[in-house]
Structure 1
């Protein structure tokens, strides 16, 4: 389960489809070296993305 405290690097390592979800929210984290240590909460806040919506979408990927 993905939480707001996880780093973007950790999240990207969970499933290859995660990158597609992030891109749909205009988060190009897989190509940003700074994102590896940034938490999901920090990334969402920094890009004006609704954190709860993003977490829900990412966890749907993991549930299949």
Structure 2
């Protein structure tokens, strides 16, 4: 299972990525909404964990962009 994490707080993002990777998941980590949306639209992910308050595009905007893409 491949998971996308979009989190701008470095410690939180790194902690989530490390824990999920150690649990056997493949994890992509983006630090802002623009990069998160780009990864979501160009890579296949089974799940996304989105922070709501992100620089660039907020988490709700990332979700809306994913939904618009079909």
TM score, norm. by length of structure 2: 0.29
**Which structure is higher in RCO with an 8 Å CA cutoff and minimum separation 6?**
1
Please identify which structure carries the higher helix content.
1
The structure that has the greater radius of gyration is: 2
TM score, norm. by length of structure 1: 0.30
Please identify which structure carries the higher strand content.
2
